[in-house]
């Protein structure tokens, strides 16, 4: 039986990279709304996108881009349902930041070193070195040091409750989080743009992260 993976977005066709990777790896991606029944799915994927409304972490707007409060409502509600059900969650870029905010953390609204991490005016992701914490999921997949892609101007600041940082960039940006008790992994980079048809020679294979997430989902 295919793993059913919920993706809380208004139009799944606009998130084809995520859906294509899940399908290629033997899962069934399903677009869902705020009222998703987590019990009907094996896992939740929170994709990349615009910035989260900063009032959700107690701040005024100081450089956010492409804020969509309706999307925030949908994705926070969906994440809450999956956390309550104990179902696996994979957060990617915006999804990584959303997980941190959900658990009470805050964000840096514009990184001082944003030029190193964002696309800027170009269409290609940046690539940079990172280090993973020994014993972490990512260290097990890729080793302690490996390059990833990057396309973001915000980052994790104060850590959410129950989360542990398991990967940093060389300049100190939080690149991955794992929950200490729940099956939640999130990354600031884009594994869906580092594998299969989008595989790169200058990064690791992003499909390993997605395969790990799907392995968790198959245990449900």
Q: Which residue has 């997980």 as its token pair?
A: 99
DSSP assignment string, 178-191: EESSSSEEEESS-G
The C-alpha atoms of residue 3 and residue 218 are separated, in whole angstroms, by 7
- Residues catalogued as catalytic: 93, 190, 192
What is the torsional sign of CA 197, 201, 203, 208? positive
Contact 214, 44 (CB under 8 A): no
Q: Burial letters for 64-99: b for 16+ Cβ neighbours within 10 Å, e otherwise?
A: beeeeeebbebbbebbebbbeeebbbbbbbbbbbbb
4 forms beta bridges with 28
In angstroms, the CA 21 to CA 149 distance is 17
Helices (H), the chain: 16-24, 69-85, 94-102, 114-117, 137-142, 207-218
């Amino acid at each position: 039986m295919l793993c059913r993976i919920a993706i809380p977005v208004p139009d799944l066709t606009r998130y084809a990279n995520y859906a294509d990777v899940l399908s290629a790896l033997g899962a069934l991606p399903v677009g869902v709304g705020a009222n998703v029944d987590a019990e009907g799915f094996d896992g939740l994927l929170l994709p990349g996108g615009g910035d989260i409304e900063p009032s959700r972490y107690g701040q005024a707007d100081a450089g956010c881009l492409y804020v969509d409060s309706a999307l925030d409502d949908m994705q926070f509600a969906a994440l809450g349902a999956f956390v309550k059900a104990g179902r696996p969650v994979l957060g990617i870029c915006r999804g990584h930041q959303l997980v941190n905010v959900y658990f009470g953390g805050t964000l840096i609204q514009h990184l001082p070193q944003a030029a190193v991490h964002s696309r800027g005016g170009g269409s290609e992701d940046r690539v940079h070195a990172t280090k993973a914490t020994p014993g972490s999921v990512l260290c097990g997949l890729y080793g302690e040091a490996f390059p990833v892609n990057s396309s973001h101007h915000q980052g994790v600041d104060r850590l959410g409750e129950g989360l542990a940082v398991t990967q940093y960039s060389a300049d100190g940006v939080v690149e991955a989080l794992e929950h200490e008790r729940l099956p939640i992994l999130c990354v600031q980079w884009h594994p869906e743009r580092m594998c299969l048809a989008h595989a790169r020679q200058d990064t690791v294979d992003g499909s390993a992260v997605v395969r790990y997430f799907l392995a968790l989902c198959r245990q449900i």
